[in-house]
Every structure is written in structure tokens, then in C-alpha cells.
Structure 1
Amino acid sequence: MSEVVNVIVAFAVIVFIVRWATSSNSDSGPTPADTLGFRPKNVTEDMLDTIGNMFPDIPRDNIRYDLLRTGSVETTTNKILERGFIEAPPPSYFTLYPRTLAPTPNNSAASGFSSSSSIKQPKDTLISRYNLQSRLKSEDTATIPDEDVGGKAKWEDTPEKREASLRERKERMILAARQRMLAAQKEKGNEA
């Protein structure tokens, strides 16, 4: 008889420990499903980047919220294409996922300064991106004829030569576009 009592006491202790352990987990706070009203799907940064690159004007929080609901890049993309927008997340969303700040070039928002009071960074120009400063000085006086600008490229034998030919054509197009822009600015200055 004493063995039966020991088994019952051991069983009761085990049940008490299991209930205590499971109840402490549920007391830690509401689950994401309780907060959002649906069971969120897994969302990766790649999914966010894919849609963010396709639709840069859609806020990242809206994209994340819709992906949490659908779990599919295709569904969210179709929704944006059909409607032109996706709805903003409810305030309860921001308790789980704090607002994301739009990345700024000099990170002025993170440092507490507004973007209007920050010092403007010089924009990256095509001339600096393609390192055409040396050619710019030599071709300022010479005008590039329109036939030579894009022109038809001849097929080269090796991929390296084709790449060099393409790069040269790009550079000529950039320099010709710059000359046209400067000429248009000069005409606008003469008119004013």
C-alpha cells in the first residue's frame, strides 16, 4: 500500500512541476499571434529587399506586415501591382517590430539631426563614377560628333576587347551628354 501512495505522490509532483513550467511560459506576455491577430509567417531580409527594390516608394514596415500575413513575395507583389499600395500595419505591429528608419547617406536621422539641417553631400556624378576627369579636361574644347557618340560597335574577337569597346562607348556617351547639358545651360543663361 505504501508503494501506491509513493507513486501517487510522485505523479502529483510531476503534474505540479509540468503545470508550473508551462504556466510560467504563457505568463511571459502575449504571443505575436495574439498581438497581430494572425499567425505570422517567417520573413527574411531577402524577401524584404526583393520587394523593397521593386517598389522603393512602399514603406518597409508595410512590406514586412504584408509578408508576415502572406509569407509570399509573389502574393505581396501582386497585391501592390493590383492596388498600387499595401495597407499600413496597425499600432500593435510596432510593439513587436519597432519602426525602421529610412537609410540616409550621412545617417543624420540616427544622430538626431533633421535632414534639412544636415550638410548636403556632393552627389556621385557619372564623371566621377567612371573616372573621366582626365578625359573631361582634354575634351572640353573638342566637340564629339553625334555619329561617334553611341555608334555601332564592331564585334571584337575576345570578351576583354568587347568589354573595353563597350566601356569606351559608354564614356563617349557620358561625355557627349555632358557637352549637350552644358550647351543647353549656356543657351538658357544667354536667354535669361
Structure 2
Amino acid sequence: MGEVINVVVAFAVIVFVFRWITTSSDSPSQRSAADTLGFRPKNVTQDMIDTISNMFPDIPPDNIRYDLLRTGSVELSSNKILERGFLESPPPAYFTLYPRDANAEQAARPAQARSGATSTAIKVQKQTLIDRYNLKDRVAAAEPSTLGPEDLTTGKAAWEDSAEKREASLKERKAQMILAARQRMLAQQQKAS
């Protein structure tokens, strides 16, 4: 009976020593990253981050990297964004391993976002409906009418015979609605001042 206890104790000591040796041979950065994040991080390349940043420029790069560390797949991260509309932000422990760097964040942004494409998008957004539908001449020619803005939009449009006539009728109704909205806005501004 004493020999069995000695064998069990010797076996336990050998297992303990073997585990101690094998765990210390792991790289300390991997062990601390897994311990810090709570999961074993997958390999993430800058190309993976850039791919998702190109598709979803409004998602912060730290959120993208954190999700890629968890999933290891661009497709899974993209599907999460499409399903949820966002990626969860990383915990504070993430920033101990991957500190924020302003230069790296700008480098992570695609070159397209830094180029003139952004300025053209802003110019398009500043375009008014009057400019978009070429109503400048009608606005300049229109004097304050006695008709209220409600009178411009209340009539029903008749169904036209051809597609061209229907399209022209639709354009005219859009123009009337835009001009009526402009008149309402000007009336509100006059009341406010």
C-alpha cells in the first residue's frame, strides 16, 4: 500500500513539473494577451483592417481590430456590422496591449478617405434642392404669391397616356412641392424675425 502512495505522489510531481516547464516555454506576450483579453487572439493583418475600413469607414479602427482579434475573419466581422450596424468597442484592457496612436490611426484610413473624394462628397451634400432640380429661374421669377403653400400641392395629378408625359408631370409636381416648402420656410423665417 505504501508503494502505491509513493507512485501516485511521484506521478503528481512529474505532471506538475511537466506543466510548469511547458507553460513557461510559451511566449509571454501570447500568454499575457490571452489573459488580458480573456480569449486567445487570432492573427490580424493591416490588410484585414483596411478591408473592413474601406467597406465601413464610420467604424473606428480599434473596434475593427478588436473584433478581428476575436473572430480572425473579415467575413464574420463584416456580417456583424451588416446585422447590427456597429461593432462593440474594446474593453480598457485592449488598450494596454494595443495603445492608441494618432499616426497609426491615420495610416489605417484608406487613401481614398484622405484624398479629394471627401471634399467632393461634402460639396454634393451642400447642394440645395433648388440647384438639383434647376428651379433657380422659377424662384427668381416667382414673386410672393397670394396663394398659400398648401394650394400648390393639393391637386391630384391626372394619369397621363405616355411615360414621357407622366415623367414630366412628376417633375412638375416635385418642383411645386419644393417651391411650396421654400415658401413655408420663408414664411416661418419672417414670423421668427
Q: Tell which has more relative contact order, 1 or 2 (C-alpha 8 A, sep 6+).
A: 2
Q: TM-score, normalised by structure 1?
A: 0.49
